Structure 1
Amino acid sequence: MAERKLYLGGRLRRLRRELGMNQSAMAAEIGISPSYLNHLERNQRPVTAQVLLRLADAYDVDLKSFAAEGGEGTGVDQLGEIFADPMFSDLAIPRYELLEVADNAPSVADAVSRLYAALVERRQHPEGGAPDETSLVTPEAWVRDHIQAQRNHFPYLEEAAETLAGALGEPIGLAEALRRRLREAFGIDTRIVPPDLLDAASQHYDYHRKRLMLSSLLRPESRTFALAYQLALFEFRPLLQRMIEAAAPPDTPTRRLLHMSLANHAAGAIMMPYAPFLAAAERHRYDIDRLCGEFGASVEQAAHRLTTLGRPGARGIPFFMLRVDAAGNVSKRFAGESFPFSRFGGTCPRWNLHSAFQTPGRVATQIVETPDGQRFFTVSRTVDRAVRLDPRESSQLAIGIGCDAKYAPKIAYADGLDLSDPYITPIGPACGICPRLRCPQRAAAPAGRTLALNELQKTISPYPFVG
């Protein structure tokens, strides 16, 4: 770090924006003048080792990732995905220009990402005239970006849930404690009812009768989560409202989805309170089945919880998580830190997440390498949906969690693996932007690349191109 000057103005601005601070407040907390911080953010001064250490101390910043190429937020890979769109093919924007935007103008990079998300949504729904611009960014995309901007960690909600969980007692028997709390504190009666009474819902709260109805198809861990969700809506109402107001969603549907997402986060934190869950995760070396047994959670619930362990001074391994169906549709994306996959496309077919459907219930491990040389240790397996209304339909989904390969020795699933094995599975983002030349599973021609086709020769990749 001492051998090169670090100009990290964009990352400093992004960090300050995520913390909701002005320059004067941040400068005071790290012991420098506002004018000096202004120079740092404008890349008129390099960030010194002393400033980096103060940032790490004040905000629990990971110095290696903060000072590394790329940084957080809309990075060069995501911009590359956006500008690989055919409508930009004549521009041939070089990677170094994308890197300059990502590093030096992070707000511009985020704005470009938001505009492109709106364009993708508009392409999918071309009919309907000219709606308000804000409606082109879907509630799901807006909430996902907001959660990721917080690194999937909400400290005040975590503290409140941890306090409540302590009052409720041990995880075993939590469902009854939740039912009792709903009844005694809020006068809400809970009933298990046949699914036909709820139509397509798995749970429903009747305001008039003050009755929470849960589908009899819900498994025990899903019933517990449903009870925790309903309790969070009532118990944390003022806190949730403050968090929503601070986030400032653009419209009512987005506001409601954010409310539900935060209540879901709280429900997971009630079932698996932060400090006990982190201690158990480290004790069991992140063995998900053992965590499920200790906290009465499902595999998906425990895996999701592993992505939220970002408390300053008490961090867990920074996992990312994806959930896909058999057709490859991504229905969940969460990340505690870096997230190496495409935002606008699917996932790489070479990641064994997709083959998990061939071995239901079995754990599959893999070490993968992204085009930039970063390696990740991943764990994939199938899970069942919380509710299956039609027994003739498959109830299976696949989830994959992963982290930087440097954490693999701390994880039980890596035992017996040769982490120095020279064969690491090369993966990439969506095929349309993947730079790998000789991929036999490429499903689309790379945007902005010249195809190298020769009628006298057939290649392993169906879309060979000039590197």
Structure 2
Amino acid sequence: MVESKIFAGPRLRRLRKQMELTQTAMAEALAISPSYLNLIERNQRPLTVQLLLKLAAVYDVDIASLQGESGGTIGQLKAVFADPLLSGELPGDQELVEVAEAAPNAAIGIMKLYRAYQEQAARLSDLTALLAEEGRQTHLTGRRLPHDEVREALSRRPWYFDALDRAAEALHAELAPGDEMSAALKDWLRAKHGIAVRVLPPHALVNLGRRFDRHTMRLFISARFSPHDRQREIAIEAALLAFRDEIAEAIETLALTGDEARRIARFELARYAAHALLMPYGPLVEAARRDRYDISLLAGRFGVSFAQAATRLVSLQRTDNAGLPFFAMEIDVAGNILRRIGEGGFRGECPRLDVYDAFARAGRLIVQRAAMPDGAEFLTLSRTVEGPEPASGERPHLTALLVGLPYAHAAATAYATAEQPATPIGPVCRLCERIGCLSRAEPPVTRPLGLDEMVAGLSAFDFR
């Protein structure tokens, strides 16, 4: 019988360092010499089946983790080096195995760089096609970009993913975190995946908020994040590990056209799953009804930020136990719409919405009753959202979040009052025919301007 041999020296060395053992101490426990262990760690000797069994008996090691950790990475590296540009660089697969085993972070970096190269080539191909078309204005619209494709795909459907939500509920019950969700997540990551969580100062994690180091099996979180956002980042990493299949199935339902768009969607769905894990559906919908959808109360009850609680309310759309039909929109200081979810019939981008005024009243919750030209009315809640802690001399990152619902449901919330007057708004300025609007930013496409040179209107875009 031929004995199976496994070369997994770097993984064994990583395991030894995680347990804070010297080569001498581990060699003694395994009944081998330190010099032989050194050869194994340098991939000059194999890990035999007998030695694997000894490792499992002495240290309770998952044998599968030593046998197949880098298989997926090797396969992806093979695809990279199959490119005609690189196909002659490697005589065989052994070098790929050595790179994947000894330097997993470098291997991931190579794959990311190659993926970016492919996507850039695809964009240049699109631009070339546009330039080749005579008689057309040669510019790329935002709708061609993967980020906008994902945003539109998510805004067209309810902001609820049943399989993800139920899986998050089950994992939350397994964690049984009580009031210590961050601690429970850290314990789960260490026990199930051997991952340790560390918070690093900004200078040690430059330009990054979260990074998973595959070599040391550590998850690094930037100290620039608030405690609530640190907890969310840990939950995102847990979601990517625990809900891989559910996230993949949800991405398929979006019918996206490219790998970049699917990757962006994967991050959005991981954040969705993280919120579902922090605020499981059943307890949240019960608390929301009891607290009359008071977002601040819910944020305090579940130990999350205002923005996280508000966004999660939009997803309470389970068929047999639905909450109110909330929608949400986030903008930046220039008025650009960053994301839309669960619109519920609301398409307003009117400058008269108080969300655009939220930056002048940072940190305050602004309640507004808004009326569209067709008579539809909405209750909207607007508030600024702070980003990571800015560096010295850096401008703070501030966005504004609008959360709303049809006004017919307003009485079920803590925000409706009988005296609320309705603010007339429109969809977008180019489709709005309200006369004398001081907030108008563009002329309407449906009406001619400047019909009477003897009369000046209140707006820069006067029409009759």
Taking structure 2 as the reference length, the TM-score comes to 0.68
Instruction: Name the structure 1 match of 2:57.
Output: none
Superposed, 1:89-128 pairs within 5 Å as 128=127
Structure 1 residue 307 and structure 2 residue 309: aligned?
A: no
Look up the match of 1:363.
365
How much has 1:461 moved relative to structure 2?
2.6
Structure 2: gaps spanning 5 or more residues: 1-123, 132-139
Task: Return the alpha-carbon distance in structure 1 between the equivalents of residues 401 and 239 of structure 2.
Answer: 26
Q: How does 1:74-223 map to 2 (within 5 A)?
A: 128-130=127-129, 137-170=144-177, 172-223=179-230
- How much has 1:335 moved relative to structure 2? 1.5
Is the CA contact 2:209–2:221 (under 8 Å) kept in the aligned structure 1? yes
What does the per-residue CA deviation read over 1:387-424, in whole Å, with 9 as the maximum and x for residues that have no partner? 4345541332211111111111111122x4425xxx42
Contact 1:171–1:294 at 8 Å: present in 2 too? no
Counterpart CA distance in 2 for 1:254 and 1:389 is 31
Q: Is the 8 A contact 1:171 1:296 kept in 2?
A: no
Q: What fraction of aligned residue pairs are identical, expressed as a percent?
A: 35
SS at match of 1:310: coil
| 1:215 Cα deviation after fit | 0.3
SS in 2 for 1:217: coil
1:232 shift after superposition: 0.5
**Secondary structure of the corresponding residue to residue 329 of structure 2:** strand
Q: Select the structure with the greater relative contact order (CA < 8 A; seq sep ≥ 6).
A: 1
User: What is the identity, as a one-letter code, of the residue corresponding to 1:393?
Assistant: R
SS of the counterpart of 1:311? coil
Q: Structure 1 pair 294/425, CA: closer, same or farther in 2 (3 Å)?
A: same
C-alpha deviation, 1:255, in angstroms:
1.2
Is residue 321–residue 335 contact of structure 1 (8 Å, CA) maintained in 2?
A: yes
Task: Calculate the TM-score normalised by the size of structure 1.
Answer: 0.67
The farther-off stretch of 243-252 and 151-160 is 243-252
Name the counterpart of 1:352. Answer: 354
Contact 1:439 1:460 in 2 (8 A): yes
CA RMSD of aligned residues (A): 2.5
Contact 2:157 2:342 in 1 (8 A): no
Structure 2 counterpart SS, 1:403: strand
Contact 1:321 1:333 in 2 (8 A): yes
Q: Partners of 2:269 and 2:315 in 1: how far apart?
A: 12
Aligned equivalent of 2:445, options 444, 447, 467 = 447
The CA distance in 1 between the partners of 2:415 and 2:448, in whole Å, is: 42
CA distance in 2, matches of 1:223, 1:400: 23
1:11-55 deviation per Cα after TM superposition (whole angstroms, max 9, x unaligned): xxxxxxxxxxxxxxxxxxxxxxxxxxxxxxxxxxxxxxxxxxxxx
Give the number of the structure whose alpha-carbon radius of gyration is greater. Answer: 2
Q: Deviations over 1:196-226 (max 9, x none)?
A: 2222110011122211000011111111101
Instruction: Indicate the residue corresponding to 1:50 in structure 2.
Output: none
After TM superposition, the structure 1 = structure 2 runs for residues 18-417 of structure 1, keeping only pairs within 5 Å, are 128-130=127-129, 137-170=144-177, 172-335=179-342, 337-341=344-348, 347-414=349-416, 416-417=417-418
Distance 1:247 1:365 in 2: 33
Provide structure 1 residue ranges, at least 5 long, that are not aligned to the other structure: 1-124, 342-346
Q: Is the 8 A contact 1:271 1:295 kept in 2?
A: yes
Aligned length: 334
Q: Distance in 1 between matches of 2:299 and 2:353?
A: 25
What secondary structure is seen at the aligned counterpart in 2 of 1:322?
A: strand
Q: Structure 1: how far apart are the matches of 2:269 and 2:301?
A: 24
Aligned CA distance change for structure 1 residues 247 and 406 (closer, same or farther; 3 Å):
closer
What residue identity is the alignment partner of 1:278?
A: V
Partners of 1:134 and 1:250 within 8 A in 2: no
Shift of 1:173: 0.7
